Structure 1
């Protein structure tokens, strides 16, 4: 058996204690048939010294939950791992850049379709009011540029006052009503090859599709028309040799596919919906070993 490391949350953070071991178990179950054993290690124990990781043939940063609440330390850790030459996939340079949603703006500059977005350094009521008129919408989404799991994400209607605004750099976008009717679609890629497709929908009255908010997930037999083209365009624009990627998208007002996220750090792979329980993920990992 080949031993690899999987980075996990800070053990001092109780908010994930009941969740991440189950995710680790699913990953371990997918990798075991390929002769790969996973060993958990908190990412926060390797911020300034990578010696505890350099002995592994491969490190997967797949459960680094909580990095968005300590982003400066996260970026410092990525620099440490890169300088030490840790064999990490996806690479430290990629997961560092991917932790700030400004990467969406860079992809848009390369022609990738994203929702109209106003980038602000600190959200104000004036910013929100201006967005309604600028994008001709009556509902907007406000989210921090550094976030995870819809953390501090707000949905505001025209005339509604901004409260509990996220601090620091943020983004404001028109709310896509298709999230409630058609849901968000995720395409999972391992080793650059499409593995499976999952559709995610919020429960009635909710706009967030994450499991903790009651999101309902369903595997699709194939990508909807046009979705694969956007995903492949996104991966080409990223231009990195990625072990894994989850490309999240939703449909705009005219039915066009828009990139919501390109999850390259610690995406949920939805292995329960993957062919043979994640055999393609295991094959991609084994190929890198």
Structure 2
């Protein structure tokens, strides 16, 4: 048996306390099938000193949920892990840039279709008015560029006053009605190989597809166009990814657009995986044997 580490949330963060242990159990079960033991390690215990992680042949950051609430400390941890040579997968460099959603602009520059997006250092009424005018939309979605799980994300209708806007850097996009009618589709890749896909729909009247807001998850066979977009995204990233979740939906013209490339701590939705995580475990084993 090989022992590796899985980074887990800050014990003081109660936000995901009812979720992540179940996800960890599914990961542990899948890895056990490949003769791998996973040891949970809270990421906040390794911010300034990484010796406790260098003893593992592989460290998976797949459960460090909540890092966006303490982004400065997270970036310090990434620096510490990089300098110590912690065998991370995905790589520490990827964890750094993928933690700020401004990466979407870089992928767009490489030809990846994304929803119309305006980035701002601080959301103002003027930004909102300009976005409504530029997009010709009746509703906007505003979110911090550093966020997760719809944290501090707003849906704003034309004419509504801006309230509780995110502090700091944010992004503004038109609300895409397909989120309500068709949902968001996630394609999971392990070791560069497609594993499974999940469609996520919100409860009626909401736009948040996360399970904590009542979202429904269903296994699907992704259309060829969705698969093509996912492959385009991975090719544009062109880094050694052990795992990737590519989230997408359709825009107003019916074309698939990238919502996010989740490369840090995505839920793999193993409950919806026909192989129950065997593909993930095989990718981990292959990484260990490189």
What TM-score comes out, normalization by structure 2 length? 0.98
Confirm whether residue 145 of structure 1 aligns to residue 145 of structure 2.
yes
Per-residue Cα deviation, 1:64-121 (whole angstroms, up to 9, x for no partner) = 1111010011001001101111001001110111000001010001000000001000
3-state SS, counterpart of residue 180 of structure 2: helix
Match of 1:265 in 2: 264
Match of 1:162 in 2: 162
5+ unaligned residues in a row in structure 2: which ranges?
none
Match of 1:275 in 2: 274
The residue correspondences of 1:85-100 to structure 2 (distance < 5 A) are 85-100=85-100
Separation in 2 of the partners of 1:149 and 1:37? 28
Separation in 2 of the partners of 1:288 and 1:200? 30
Note the C-alpha offset of 1:12: 1.7
The residue correspondences of 1:77-116 to structure 2 (distance < 5 A) are 77-116=77-116
Confirm whether residue 121 of structure 1 aligns to residue 121 of structure 2.
yes
Per-residue Cα deviation, 1:230-259 (whole angstroms, up to 9, x for no partner) = 100100000101000000000011110000
Confirm whether residue 207 of structure 1 aligns to residue 207 of structure 2.
yes
Match of 1:60 in 2: 60
3-state SS, counterpart of residue 34 of structure 1: coil
Match of 1:192 in 2: 192
Match of 2:180 in 1: 180
Note the C-alpha offset of 1:16: 2.4
3-state SS, counterpart of residue 206 of structure 1: coil
Aligned length: 288
Separation in 1 of the partners of 2:87 and 2:143? 32
Match of 2:234 in 1: 235
What TM-score comes out, normalization by structure 1 length? 0.98
RMSD in angstroms over aligned alpha carbons?
Answer: 0.7
Separation in 2 of the partners of 1:271 and 1:77? 28
Separation in 2 of the partners of 1:217 and 1:148? 18
3-state SS, counterpart of residue 217 of structure 1: strand
- Give runs of ≥4 in structure 1 deviating > 3 Å: none
Match of 1:72 in 2: 72
- 6-15 vs 33-42, which moves further: 6-15
Separation in 2 of the partners of 1:276 and 1:263? 21
Separation in 2 of the partners of 1:236 and 1:288? 20
Separation in 2 of the partners of 1:117 and 1:26? 35
Note the C-alpha offset of 1:127: 0.6
Match of 2:11 in 1: 11
Note the C-alpha offset of 1:130: 1.1
Note the C-alpha offset of 1:286: 0.5
3-state SS, counterpart of residue 33 of structure 2: helix
5+ unaligned residues in a row in structure 1: which ranges?
none
